């Protein structure tokens, strides 16, 4: 498969430098991609390859509004881009509103000479699928998004979800044809797209999925929408905005959250200012059913939002900090209430070297409103932190994905890997889901009884006191000198 050559990434980043807002280049990049794909489809019209291309993927570029058409009018490129963007939106329902939300006609803000320079640099990259595949195009866009992190309005650096970890999460959730799927922190849409790939691999109709998402960062939101559109998937269900402060997927005249068959997400772990004051004393959308998250715990707020977005038969899978399974205080009380309602189905520890950039130890948390009868009253714990990730690639190994996925599907205890823990046992352990304790791999340090620890401490204190007494006696002897204390010759 074709990929994003490092030289292409360098060209994209260079093209962004002179622009007043680097995010504008994302729209130009996507515009060129659509135009190049259209030219490629025209070139192979009538060929077997063209017949295999889903009709929804053949995005329409109206006559007179292609990349080359705009390029020919360099002196008025801003107005020409505006016209082309509006034409694209009108001709492609998948893109409705995506391009026309940008206004480049102000010559003071976007001088034609600067736009022309960006056009010239991007001309060096041919973005047909035979030159750059979907993953390669995503990588170019992601490189640009990361380069924009220092711009005003960027909430925080994003944490990338490794591809094999995403695949594992989707394989556990097992989305089916016709399902509604939602990601409240959808980023560039990788998890939603993997749900489509899962169905395609199974020979099922991925276009029957109904995909929804919300993303705070405008650049990532734009990439997500066009990512879906370039895969032939409508993106009208992808919204831009703050999920916790202002959820956009509402029903009942905007008074309640929409609910979905599957919710999948990798929310930001370290979001501090998440909207505590808007939720306190209780959230208007009913998301704090299990307790108001602490002011500094945005992750737990995302978890409660995701749970509230599940319908009565829904299943939730999230990438979470490992501490969400063990932390006390109000977070511990929220976890205890969720466990008591038999919502937590499984937890998989995956270590701290899997995510990129590196973070605290992480886990995959699975919640289910419709547990199978044999799984009720218990939680399946998997210790996936067994050195399966390569430090250089920051992802699960293929072997780890297969091992964990097989364990979840079989739902059978396996020493050193997985175990079903009963509700009674969890209650005895104060609702702390310490995966490494319930499922030791043999590499952990053995837990010592508190009484043994106390006796060891007492022995260490006694040994220290004896050593101190011996040292004092030795010093006294040195001070007396060699002849002191002995009788002298007369």
* 357 has a pLDDT exceeding 70: no
The residue ranking higher by pLDDT, 37 or 309, is: 309
pLDDT band at 159 (very low <50, low <70, confident <90, very high): low
Rounded Cα distance, 386 and 392, in Å? 16
Q: Which of 192, 184, 186, 185 is nearest to 231 (CA)?
A: 192
Tell me the range of 141-155, 388-402, 470-484 where mean pLDDT is highest. 470-484
Residues near 260 by Cβ (< 8 Å), separated by ≥ 6? 179, 180, 181, 182, 212, 309, 310, 311, 314
Distances (CA, A) of 330 to 149, 336, 446: 32, 10, 29
pLDDT band at 240 (very low <50, low <70, confident <90, very high): very high
Percent of the chain predicted with pLDDT > 90: 46
User: In terms of C-beta density within 10 A (0-12 exposed, 13-18 middle, 19 or more buried), how is residue 38 classed?
Assistant: middle
Q: How far is CA 270 from the centre of its chain?
A: 13
Is the C-alpha dihedral spanning 345, 351, 356, 359 positive or negative?
A: positive
* 184 has a pLDDT exceeding 70: yes
pLDDT band at 458 (very low <50, low <70, confident <90, very high): low
Domains of the chain listed by start with CATH number: 6-147 (1.20.1260), 163-438 (3.40.50.150)
Whether the model clears a pTM of 0.95, i.e. scores above it, the answer is no
User: Is-contact 167 242, C-beta < 8 A?
Assistant: no
Distances (CA, A) of 260 to 200, 211, 244, 311, 316: 21, 10, 17, 5, 10
User: In terms of C-beta density within 10 A (0-12 exposed, 13-18 middle, 19 or more buried), how is residue 133 classed?
Assistant: middle
Tokens of 7: 């030289």
Residues near 427 by Cβ (< 8 Å), separated by ≥ 6? none
Distances (CA, A) of 278 to 81, 106, 241, 246: 40, 37, 15, 10
User: Looking at residue 157, what is its pLDDT?
Assistant: 40
Query: What is the mean pLDDT of the segment spanning 147-173?
Result: 71
Q: What are phi and psi of 432, to 5 degrees?
A: -90, 120
User: Looking at residue 56, what is its pLDDT?
Assistant: 46
Min mean pLDDT across 99-103, 191-195, 409-413, 461-465 is at 461-465
């Amino acid at each position: 498969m074709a990929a994003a050559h490092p030289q292409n990434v360098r060209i994209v980043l260079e093209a962004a430098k002179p622009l007043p807002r680097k995010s504008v280049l994302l729209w130009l990049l996507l515009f060129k991609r659509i135009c190049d794909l259209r030219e490629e489809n025209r070139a192979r019209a009538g060929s077997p390859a063209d017949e295999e291309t889903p009709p929804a993927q053949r995005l329409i570029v109206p006559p007179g509004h292609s990349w080359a058409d705009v390029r020919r009018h360099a002196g008025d490129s801003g107005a020409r881009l505006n016209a082309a963007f509006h034409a694209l939106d009108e001709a492609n329902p998948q893109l409705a509103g995506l391009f026309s939300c940008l206004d480049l006609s102000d010559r003071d803000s976007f001088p034609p000479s600067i736009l022309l320079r960006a056009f010239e640099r991007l001309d060096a990259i041919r973005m047909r699928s035979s030159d750059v595949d979907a993953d390669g195009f995503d990588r170019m866009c992601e490189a640009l998004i990361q380069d924009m992190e220092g711009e005003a309005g960027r909430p925080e650096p994003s944490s990338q979800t490794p591809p094999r970890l995403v695949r594992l999460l989707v394989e556990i959730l097992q989305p089916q044809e016709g399902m509604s799927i939602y990601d409240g922190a959808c980023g560039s849409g990788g998890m939603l797209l993997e749900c489509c790939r899962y169905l395609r691999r199974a020979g099922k109709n991925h276009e029957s999925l109904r995909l929804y998402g919300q993303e705070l960062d405008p650049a990532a939101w734009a990439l997500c929408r066009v990512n879906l559109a370039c895969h032939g998937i409508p993106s009208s269900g992808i919204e831009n905005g703050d999920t916790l402060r202002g959820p956009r997927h509402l029903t009942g005249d905007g008074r309640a959250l929409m609910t979905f068959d599957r919710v999948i997400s990798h929310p930001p772990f370290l979001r501090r200012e998440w909207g505590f004051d808007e939720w306190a004393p209780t959230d208007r959308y009913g998301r704090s059913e299990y307790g108001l998250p602490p002011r500094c715990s945005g992750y737990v707020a995302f978890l409660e939002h995701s749970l509230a977005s599940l319908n009565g038969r829904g299943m939730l899978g999230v990438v979470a900090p490992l501490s969400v399974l063990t932390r006390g205080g109000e977070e511990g009380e929220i976890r205890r209430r969720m466990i008591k309602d038999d919502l937590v189905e499984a937890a998989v520890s995956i270590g701290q070297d899997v995510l990129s950039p590196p973070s605290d130890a992480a886990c995959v948390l699975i919640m289910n409103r419709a547990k199978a009868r044999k799984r009720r009253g218990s939680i399946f714990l998997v210790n996936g932190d067994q050195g399966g990730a390569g430090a250089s690639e920051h992802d699960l190994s293929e072997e780890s994905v297969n091992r964990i996925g097989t364990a979840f599907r079989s739902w059978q205890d396996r020493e050193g890997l997985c175990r079903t823990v009963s509700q009674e046992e969890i209650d005895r352990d104060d609702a702390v889901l310490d995966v490494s304790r319930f499922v030791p791999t043999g590499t952990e340090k053995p837990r010592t009884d508190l009484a043994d620890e106390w006796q060891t401490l007492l022995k260490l204190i006694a040994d220290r006191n004896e050593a101190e007494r011996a040292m004092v006696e030795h010093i006294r002897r040195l001070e007396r000198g060699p002849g002191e204390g002995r009788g002298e010759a007369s």
